[in-house]
Amino acid sequence: MTDALVFDAYGTLFNVHSVLARCEQFWPGKGAQLSQLWRAKQLEYTWQRSLMRRYLPFSQLTKDALEYACEFLQLPLEEKQTELLMRQYLDLETFPDVPAALRALKGHKLAILTNGSPDMIGPLVANRGMEMSFDAVLSVDALQVFKPAPQVYELAVTSLKTPRERIGFVSSNCWDALGAKCYGFTVYWINRAGAPVDRLGFQPDKIVTGLNEILP
């Protein structure tokens, strides 16, 4: 067990596809397709804007990605629908294994390190009653560059006052897990889908299917 555990938020603790029901309500038969494309463009925009050095908060990129996905799928998008879907991001469901895992880890040094901007991740953590579960909730907004930029992972070292070699990083996003491994963390990749490891020249220290597999 390392001295501290740092968690990615979206896709790791919180299920981004819990917006699917609302999408399906608005556009029957298209909810799953919209949810998948929305998430894909959301991530693409973080990487593209980091490379272009044209940062915008994650909340804006999430809205931009929604608008793109609806236009691509030829789905009419009204202002009220945008508002409700964006509000849904402030109340995403946690994955089923998350509450029990956080209870089991109580007393350990824990943090969230996320691409989410403070206007998104703060309300989300609060709405799920998780404020007391973490010693820090860290956002890339402080640096205005997105993961997997190495300086983002440095935020955890500085905030937790813990050497990188003593930090465990947990993510369900393989590119994020490998970015953390490149930086020097001990990495647990939650591979819920049984996907192959991305070809980025690194390997996670441990591949698991749920948080219960990293408990001490």
Architecture of domain 16-91: Orthogonal Bundle (1.10)
Can you name the CATH fold of 4-14+92-214? Answer: Rossmann fold (3.40.50)
Indicate if the pLDDT at residue 118 is higher than 70. Answer: yes
Indicate if the pLDDT at residue 128 is higher than 70. Answer: yes
Please indicate whether the domains covering 4-14+92-214 and 16-91 agree at the CATH topology level.
no
Query: What residues are paired with 92 via a beta bridge?
Result: none
Segments making up each domain of the chain, as ranges: 4-14+92-214, 16-91
Burial 8-45 (b: 16+ CB within 10 A, else e): bbbbbbbbbbbbbebbeebbeebbebbbebbbebbbeb
Encoded tokens for 147: 């993961």
Active site residues: 8
CA pair distance 52, 174, nearest whole angstrom: 23
Indicate if the pLDDT at residue 12 is higher than 70. Answer: yes
Per-residue pLDDT tens digits for 76-117: 999 999 999 999 999 999 999 999 999 999 999 999 999 999
CA pair distance 205, 186, nearest whole angstrom: 6
Residue listed under structure tokens 């029901």: 21
Contacts for 73 with CB less than 8 Å, ≥ 6 apart: 27, 30, 33, 34, 37
Indicate if the pLDDT at residue 216 is higher than 80. Answer: no
Indicate if the pLDDT at residue 139 is higher than 90. Answer: yes
